[in-house]
Structure 1
């Protein structure tokens, strides 16, 4: 844990570096259906378009039935045209969620 306060001489600034991540970063990508987990992978570091494309091609498309509907969030990686084409090639449909708005989320009203 990084300190939130520090002391310095009068008239001088405190300098320091506060790390954004304390530990190694691990990303989990998964796909679930109503009855089971379809595909899950973990990877070190952040996800990008090529990593997400690999997940879709090598893991998810192999598990999708032809009548499946894939719902994706607003991350920039799923919006690649090649990813939508891979999913539609196995007979599934793609639906992207609308952008986030507090109007759609009743818990924000509390």
Structure 2
């Protein structure tokens, strides 16, 4: 039986630089426009040491986007009779998500609350 771990993450595309160069003895300054320029979100899944899929989105990941990714991208790539491990995000437990996983012949499992360290994809 294979175990597949998945997670989603997001980051700003214009993250500020924390280091720079200047003449020795001088302080480095930079101007920063703190208005958000955009956000990139990613969803990925691993089985063992292999990434099954990683997808980038230029929008927030909600339950509809996650469902489309799950059914259209992940489930066709998952080895038969796998356990699919997710965190406790509310939309992971939506009935249609669970039904899609189970109807594809897999078992959905959820990590304990506030335990991202138990998900190996967090360490990739």
Q: Which runs of 4+ in 1 moved over 6 A?
A: none
Matches within 5 A, 1:24-43: 24-43=38-57
Unaligned runs of 5+ in 1: 2-17, 105-110
Q: When you count strand as a share of all residues, which structure comes out higher? A: 2
Task: Work out the number of aligned pairs and report it.
Answer: 85
- TM-score normalised by L of structure 2: 0.61
Consecutive unaligned residues in structure 2, runs of 5 or more: 1-15, 17-32, 119-124
* Higher CA-based Rg: 1
Which structure would you say has the larger RCO, counting Cα contacts within 8 Å and 6 or more residues apart? Answer: 2
Q: 1:45 matched to which residue of 2?
A: 59
Matched, 1:70 2:84: yes
Q: Could you tell me how far apart the structure 1 residues matched to 2:93 and 2:107 are?
A: 14
After superposition, give the CA deviation of every residue in 1:62-100 in whole Å (9 maximum; x if it has no partner).
011222110000212211111111111111111011111
Counterpart mapping for 1:1-110 below 5 A: 22-100=36-114
Q: Contact 1:73–1:97 (CA<8 Å) still a contact in 2?
A: yes
TM-score normalised over the length of structure 1: 0.68
Secondary structure (helix, strand or coil) at the match of 1:47 reads coil
CA shift, 1:23, in A, is: 2.8
Q: Could you tell me how far apart the structure 2 residues matched to 1:44 and 1:35 are?
A: 27
Contact 1:71 1:96 (8 Å CA) reproduced:
yes
